[in-house]
Amino acid sequence: MSVVAVLAAVLNGIAAGIMLSTVIGIAPMMLALPYGRYVQLVQFLWPRYDPIMPVTNGATLVLDVLLATALAEPGPARLGYGAAAVLQAAVMGISITRNVPVNRMVKGLDPEQRPGDWADIDPRRRWRAWNTVRTSLALLAFVVNVITTAQAA
């Protein structure tokens, strides 16, 4: 159980750390960039973040569910891992329904051809808001994973 718990916490920490970097650095930069540079940045970053984020978040969720339902001792540890799993599921839900669709839309844009209605459809502030929510949930899940693992040890 302890190896699985540590792996869940490590993967959760990696994902939360990557997301935190987007909150404190990448999202503010995206807001400051003109249309073409913003589109180029998303088109550059998305294929780099996309493979790692679903893997780390998904693996964390699976491991937390395993810990909460089978591997951890009944009691507080199972409740802690269950709470972390719920938080992680929320992170993934927001990613899939709010952030990924924006990334896909921007990936399909031409950086040289700004849409005429860009002022109305510019998704940066909405993406940043949802990214902040999912990052907060991921960080909270990480704290819960670490505390639960430390107490169960």
| Per-residue pLDDT tens digits for 122-136 | 999 999 999 999 999
Q: Residue 1's pLDDT is what?
A: 63
pTM (two decimals): 0.95
Q: How many helices (H) and strands (E) does the chain have?
A: 7, 0
**pLDDT range class, residue 153, cuts 50, 70, 90:** confident
pLDDT exceeds 80 at position 149: yes
Comparing CA positions, the residue from 110, 5, 18 lying closest to residue 62 is 5
- Please state, in angstroms and as integers, the Cα–Cα distance from residue 44 to each residue in 8, 19, 57, 145, following that order: 29, 16, 21, 32
Share of the chain above pLDDT 90, in %: 94
The rounded distance, in Å, linking the Cα atoms of 144 and 9 is 9
**pLDDT range class, residue 58, cuts 50, 70, 90:** very high
Tell me the mean pLDDT in the region 19-37.
97
